[in-house]
Amino acid sequence: MNDFNLIKKKYYLEIREQVDAFKRGFRSIIDQTLIPLPRLSLKDFSELIQGNFKFTLDDFLQELHILNSRIVTNKASDEHIQFIIDIIKIHLEETPNYLEIFLKAVTGSSRLMPHEYTVRGALRIIIDVDIKQPLDIHTCFNFIKIRKEMVELTQIQQQELSP
C-alpha cells in the first residue's frame, strides 16, 4: 500500500470515529422515534443543531409554554398567559431584539430551538407561588419561574382598568 493510500485510510478512520461519536451523542439527546437521521434535510439538520435565528413572535409563542408550578403539566390561566404575552409584546415594541435577549437569558442561546427534539425540553415560563425572589432562571432546563404576584394586577390596577 502506498503512502497516499495509508494517509487516506488514516483520515477516513479518524473522521469515521468522529462521525460515529457525533451520532452516538446525537442519538443520546434526540428521540430517534421522532426523527431518524437519514430523513433530515441539511437545512433541518442545521436548524436542529444550531437553532433558528430568524423567527417571528408567532414562532416564539408556539414554542413557549406558560404553566402553573404546582402541576407542571397544567397550563396557566388564560389571564396569566395573556398578561405574559402582553408584557412580551410591549418589550418587543421597545426593543426589536427582545426575543433574542429573552432566549439568551432563559436558555443560554439567542436562537429558537425546536423543543420537541431536545432533552432540555420546551421553553417554559412557570408561575410559582413558592419562590421568594421575583424570577428564578434555569438555563439548563429552558425555564424561568416567575412569582405569581408578578403576573397579576393589583387591586388599584384592576380598578383603573374596569369600566
Is the same domain home to 41 and 75?
Answer: no
Of 108, 96, 114, give the one whose Cα is nearest residue 49: 114
Q: Are residues 61 and 26 in the same domain?
A: no
* 155 in the same domain as 121: yes
- CATH number, residue 91: 3.30.2410
Do 156 and 79 lie in a common domain? Answer: yes
pTM summary value: 0.63
63 and 10 share a domain? no
Strand pairing report for 123-128 and 64-68 = parallel
Domain count, the chain: 2
Range of the domain at 128: 57-161
Q: What is the CA radius of gyration of the chain?
A: 22
| Same domain, yes or no: 45 and 62 | no
pLDDT in tens, 18-75: 777 777 777 776 666 665 555 666 666 666 666 666 788 998 898 888 888 756 567 8
Q: Exposed, middle or buried: residue 130 (CB in 10 Å: 0-12, 13-18, 19+)?
A: exposed
